[in-house]
Amino acid sequence: MRALGLYPYFRTIESAQDTEVIINGRPMLMLGSNSYMGLTNEPRIKEAAIDAVRKYGSGCAGSRFLNGTLDIHIELEEQIADFLDKEAAIVFTTGYQTNLGVISALVGREDNVFIDRTDHASIVDGARLGFGKTFKFVHNDVSDLDRMLSLSTARGKMVVVDGIYSMEGDIAKLPEIVSVSRKHGAAIFVDDAHSVGVLGRIGNGTADHFGLTNEVDIIGGTFSKSLASIGGYVAADREVIEYLKHHARALIFSASMAPACVAATQKALEIIVNEPERRDALWANTHFMLDELRRIGLDTGDSESPIMPVVIGETERCFAMWRFLHDAGIFVNPVVTPATAPNRALIRLSVMATHTEDQLTRALEIIEKGARSIGLIGS
């Protein structure tokens, strides 16, 4: 791929993560970021981070368990619990570590964990790290989940799903998942990495979106997307959080979130809750883009969120499309097997609340030309 000039990874950005970024001195329209709220370059958040560095320094030099707990970690945990309407919360250093820590701590030797086949890698890895047995059900297929749960004789069962799926942008069928899980006495853990800020009445995620906050036992996620920082969180009953504080190895044996990250997250959370117009702008951009892509004749799968795939098919064609868009100044991400099913290579687009209609219209014109050039749509 490198020899063909088609290597799309580790591109170096020389500017802030915003709707436009600079690569090799050239401005590119960013349609491949997870900063759905467009807050990563927000002055109030940057100021909050700078203030925290002034007061607390650049790092915590230890784990939450020993010397790395600051008053602002506790404050952030209370904010998160309140935001998600759960009794308590704990923050990890990344979302990846959250899933490793939570799943491996909760799923014991005599337990089974049921994960969606397209769950994020960190869920797969968390399940692998646990001592229980893992079962993968067909993506968003509740009857398959039902079948697997009914065959299980495990002492404890836990179902883990993404709220919004990270590559195809479809939403977990939570009402059905909840009812099947309840029927079989399984606990439910929803990873809201891509839903926080995006779904829910105040951006508080998938469970709130469906009015199921009390039914979802554990809500987890990341601060690295809409919340414009780095870190992860999990919220649940106080007893569960207390247990995790003393058993999640990814929490106990890793340094805590840096002060700048904590303060940035707190400010981002405040903005997300108090400025609902950002979520409205994100949804307006999402509907505009999805409608236009479909009008052009592109296959956007089951997306119903700011994450939208353009399904291409073969890997080589997907890289050719990526190259066309890259050369035309559009930053997107190609996603190929094993991250997708074989022959379902796709270009993953994501929109932000802060994209302008002009930017999206320009992107659509280029995407349409690109799709013609690789024969995806007729000329």
Beta carbon of residue 273, minimum distance to ligand PMP (angstroms, whole number): 20
CB 276 within 8 A of CB 140: no
Residue 191 and residue 205: Cα distance in Å, rounded? 9
CB 194 within 8 A of CB 34: yes
For residue 181, give the 3-state DSSP assignment: helix
Number of residues written out for the chain: 379
Q: Is 256 noted as a catalytic residue in this protein?
A: no
- DSSP code per residue over 162-178: ESB-TTT--B--HHHHH
Pick the catalytic residue: 33, 35, 122, 166?
166
Q: Which residues pair with 196 in a beta bridge?
A: 204
Beta carbon of residue 25, minimum distance to ligand PMP (angstroms, whole number): 28
**Under rule CB under 6 A, which residues in 178-237 are in contact with ligand PMP?**
191, 193-194, 222, 224, 232
Going by C-alpha positions, the residue among 122, 118, 88, 89 that lies closest to residue 103 is 122
Beta carbon of residue 164, minimum distance to ligand PMP (angstroms, whole number): 8
**E strand intervals along 36-119:** 88-92, 111-116
Residue 368 and residue 159: Cα distance in Å, rounded? 40
Beta carbon of residue 368, minimum distance to ligand PMP (angstroms, whole number): 28
Q: Is 225 noted as a catalytic residue in this protein?
A: yes
Output 162 or 170, the one with its CB closest to ligand PMP.
Answer: 162
Q: Is 166 noted as a catalytic residue in this protein?
A: yes
Output 298 or 349, the one with its CB closest to ligand PMP.
Answer: 349
For ligand PMP, the binding residue among 19, 112, 118, 122 (CB under 6 A) is 122
Beta carbon of residue 261, minimum distance to ligand PMP (angstroms, whole number): 10
Pick the catalytic residue: 157, 194, 209, 326?
194
Helix (H) or strand (E) holding 330: strand 330-331
**Under rule CB under 6 A, which residues in 123-182 are in contact with ligand PMP?**
162, 166
**Under rule CB under 6 A, which residues in 83-102 are in contact with ligand PMP?**
94-96, 99
Which residues of this chain interact with ligand PMP, rule CB under 6 A? Answer: 94-96, 99, 120, 122, 162, 166, 191, 193-194, 222, 224, 232
Annotated catalytic residues are 166, 194, 225
